[in-house]
Amino acid sequence: MSIRVLIADDAAYMREMLRDILTSGGYEIVAEASDGEEAVAAYAEHTPDLVTLDIVMPRKSGLEALREILAADPGACVVMCSALGQDALVRDMLKAGARGYVVKPFKPDQVLEAIGKARDKSEPE
Amino acid sequence: VDLAKYRILFVDEATDHLVEMSRALADLESGEPGSSSDEAVDTLFRMTHSIKGMAASLEYLSVSTLAHKLEDWLEPLRRAGARPGDLELIHEAVRALEGMVVQVSETGEAPPADESMLARLGAQRGAHEPAPSVPAAPRDEVRAVAEAQAAADALDLQPPPQRSVRVRAESVDRFLASVGDLMQRQARIEVLHRGMRHWELPREFTEELAAMERVVRELRRRALDIRTTPVRRVLERLPGIAGKLARALGKSVRVELAGEEVEVDRAVLDHLDEPLLHLVRNAIDHGIEPPDERRERGKPPTGLLRVSASRAAGRLELCIEDDGRGIDVERVRRLAVERGMFPEAVAEDLSTERVCELLFEPGMSTKKQVSEVSGRGVGLDAVKRTVEGLGGSILAEAVPGSGMRFELDLPSMVALQRVLILWVHGHRVALPVNRVDRVIDVKQGELERVGNEIFFMFEEEPIPLLDLGEHLGLGPLQPDSGGNIVLLEMREFRLGLLIDRAAADQEVFVREVPPVLGGRKELGGVAVLPDGTPVFLLEIGVLVERFN
């Protein structure tokens, strides 16, 4: 079974890029969301194995979406996507329960590595 | 990585973002203080942030650096608010970014850096507020914290308005027409598929078919979203027009609007302008009294006109109500008698409701005649025709005490279709033009009969003809003085429809066939022509099946 992923980013460009990178890494993209609210709804609908969540999104921010997803499913494996320089914010996200983060601009091997690590953390010991 | 693909995505999305940024700037310039300006600054910030990220990943460093500078520059505005002088510089930065995106789209190369714009953004910032010095290394801790703080602030802001893009109405119409076409074909495929239930179809095929059905349904839902627009678009003009007209007539009127946010099919709305104007003009011209007369009647000198919209079960209800002098029932009765519509004895017994209905009769509708009555009825028959053409109905009601009330009941969604009108024994039927290849003139001698079948030679090929008169149960056609053949567009074989003649094609609103006729599978819908005559749409697939 391939790992099922939900991609949430308000930029279609970034979604496409993540889709390409993750597909090349053998992941299956089950849904895409273009804002935080859609992300929460899509998570409930598809219960993916992994979520990539952009931080700056309209309607509901990445942090709000993260909290709602984790409230509904404490085992959710969420990886944050941040821009360079959002370090403090990323620390907040990790504190709030994100499993990892990737930094834009995306480099395929870095993305796959970060997501692989996040998955390892979430596997039962 | 497929760079060309990302370049196209970048150009598309960055262009959208820049349009939205211009709009946000326009909002800021309109000077509405408060939350809307916060939203506009937030939009500017988010869009800039997004352009920066995309450009960086494509290594368009000139673009990402400029976006980065602009982002830094916008950041304090989110707390302090924008000042008029700031907007000009943002405008210029947006224009500079636009130029760069155009260059990327035309050359596919990274554009050169805009040093002067960078310098200006850097210089102005110092004047704006004492913020951390700008050109810091990306990993600079101070700047990173500041940026993170700004982003954190962004998270606490109100949700920004929904994103939108400007699209030409014509493109939308064409897109929607294609969706309509797709849905028809999909429906046809479903019928064919049901006919194959005893066949052994590969499972993968039926699964794909089911998946496609779902996608088409989803597409339909989204297309319906695109088609709807708030009724505000037609309602908001009314107070201005009403006020102007009232002043010209030495009257005073106050217009109350309600339900402007109700969403309705654009196609319906586009046709409501005229009828609504008609009703509003009527109310002011003939309903609302001059201030003196109103005072005498114990009414406030300013008349009231209420226009409200509401939505119930897929219908749009519009109500136009005034507190004017209302309908003069006696005079309408007398006029109906004079016009020979009723004998006097009958007219006397007509209820007020029935008298109100008479207002929509064509005979009652010229201004001279009706203004003798109570001034009501100018063009009301035209209003009624338009409303019925849309698949709706209109009702006039005398408000107890005073005034008139018009209720329009309309479908909130309609299907617009281009059809060819076919005449058969004096009856009309409609055929969707997308099923028509061409219309051909024929004379008696050109038809060949072989047993019960009729053929027509076209391009040296015998084309079987279906006599529409016979098929509709109206009796066979005898095209002795000449008739028309409609050549149908079919993939597998050619088939002609024998008819008396074809009239010009036109757009009609198609509604479902009433349930009482639900069994007639050859009827694909019903539409009302501009002259008020209903016509049925032929479901050509069903006819062809029977023919075969």
Chain A residues in contact with B148 (beta carbon < 8 A): 85-90
Of A106-115, B45-54, B149-158, minimum mean pLDDT range: B149-158
User: Which residues make Cβ contacts (< 8 Å) with residue B472, sequence separation at least 6?
Assistant: B424, B427, B429
Q: Do B9 and A13 touch (CB under 8 A)?
A: yes
Chain B: residue whose CA lies nearest to A82: B53
Distance CA(B121)–CA(B134), nearest Å, equals 10
> Which residues partner with B540 through β-bridges?
none
**Angle at B160 (CA atoms; ends B155, B165), nearest 5 degrees:** 135
pLDDT (0 to 100) of residue B156: 42
Percentage of residues in chain B with pLDDT exceeding 70?
82
Instruction: Look at residue B304 and tell me whether its pLDDT is greater than 90.
Output: yes
Q: Do A104 and B53 touch (CB under 8 A)?
A: yes
Q: Do A85 and B6 touch (CB under 8 A)?
A: no
Chain B: residue whose CA lies nearest to A11: B50
* Nearest Cα to Cα of residue B54 among A104, A66, A110, A21: A104
Q: Is A105 on the interface with B (CB under 8 A)?
A: yes
Element (DSSP H or E) covering residue A87:
helix A87-96
pLDDT band of residue B2 (cuts 50, 70, 90) is low
Percentage of residues in chain B with pLDDT exceeding 90?
11
Amino acid at A70: L
Chain B residues in contact with A105 (beta carbon < 8 A): 53, 56-57, 59
Chain B: residue whose CA lies nearest to A83: B53
Q: Are the beta carbons of B227 and B176 closer than 8 angstroms?
A: yes
Element (DSSP H or E) covering residue B228:
strand B228-230
> Which residues partner with B463 through β-bridges?
B456
Q: Which residue has the higher pLDDT, B234 or B460?
A: B234
**Average pLDDT score over chain B:** 79
pLDDT, tens only, B114-133: 888 888 887 655 444 433 33
Instruction: Look at residue B145 and tell me whether its pLDDT is greater than 60.
Output: no
Element (DSSP H or E) covering residue B461:
strand B461-467
User: Which residues make Cβ contacts (< 8 Å) with residue B126, sequence separation at least 6?
Assistant: none
Decide: helix, strand or coil at residue A6: strand
Distance CA(B198)–CA(B337), nearest Å, equals 66
Q: Is A87 on the interface with B (CB under 8 A)?
A: yes
* Nearest Cα to Cα of residue B547 among B484, B490, B480, B481: B490
Q: Which residue has the higher pLDDT, B433 or A62?
A: A62
B34: left (phi over 0), alpha (psi -120 to 50) or beta: left
Q: Do A14 and B54 touch (CB under 8 A)?
A: yes
Q: How many CB atoms lie within 10 A of CB B494?
A: 16
Query: Of the segments A39-53, B96-110, B324-338, which one has the largest average pLDDT value?
Result: A39-53
Chain A: residue whose CA lies nearest to B61: A105
Burial class from Cβ neighbours inside 10 Å (0-12, 13-18, 19+) for residue B59 reads exposed
Chain B residues in contact with A104 (beta carbon < 8 A): 53, 56-57
pLDDT (0 to 100) of residue B141: 45
pLDDT, tens only, B248-262: 888 999 999 998 888
**Average pLDDT score over chain A:** 86
* Nearest Cα to Cα of residue B318 among B330, B309, B331: B309
User: Which residues make Cβ contacts (< 8 Å) with residue B95, sequence separation at least 6?
Assistant: none
Q: Are the beta carbons of A83 and A71 closer than 8 angstroms?
A: no
pLDDT (0 to 100) of residue B133: 38
Chain B residues in contact with A83 (beta carbon < 8 A): 49, 52-53
Could you identify the residue written with the tokens 């500017």? Answer: B44
Cis bond upstream, residue A105 (ω within 30): yes
> Chain A: nearest CA to B474, how far in angstroms?
55
- Partner-chain residue, chosen from B57, B149, B155, that has the shortest CB–CB distance to A105: B57
* Nearest Cα to Cα of residue B37 among B157, B148, B129: B157
Buried b (16+ CB within 10 A) or exposed e, B509-547: bbbebeeeeeeeebbbbbbbbeeeeebbbbbbbebbeee
> Which residues partner with B408 through β-bridges?
B318, B394
Distance CA(B530)–CA(B167), nearest Å, equals 30
- Partner-chain residue, chosen from B53, B144, B154, that has the shortest CB–CB distance to A11: B53
Chain B residues in contact with A63 (beta carbon < 8 A): 155
pLDDT band of residue B366 (cuts 50, 70, 90) is very low
- Mean of the pLDDT values across residues B484-509? 81
Could you identify the residue written with the tokens 């064409």? Answer: B174
pLDDT (0 to 100) of residue B147: 52
Whether this prediction's pTM lies above 0.80 is answered by no
pLDDT band of residue B36 (cuts 50, 70, 90) is low
pLDDT (0 to 100) of residue B323: 93
Distance CA(B414)–CA(A60), nearest Å, equals 34
Element (DSSP H or E) covering residue B169:
helix B169-195
Query: Strand runs (DSSP E) across B251-326, as ranges?
Result: 253-258, 263-265, 303-312, 315-322
Distance CA(B6)–CA(B432), nearest Å, equals 41
Mutate to test the interface with A, among B5, B7, B9 (most CBs of A within 10 A): B9
Q: Do B46 and A56 touch (CB under 8 A)?
A: yes
Distance CA(B539)–CA(B526), nearest Å, equals 11
Q: Which residue has the higher pLDDT, B225 or B73?
A: B73
pLDDT (0 to 100) of residue B144: 47
Chain B residues in contact with A60 (beta carbon < 8 A): 159
Of B213-217, B370-374, B471-475, minimum mean pLDDT range: B370-374
> Chain B: nearest CA to A43, how far in angstroms?
19
pLDDT (0 to 100) of residue B136: 36
Buried b (16+ CB within 10 A) or exposed e, B380-396: bbebbbbbebbbbebeb
Q: Is A85 on the interface with B (CB under 8 A)?
A: yes
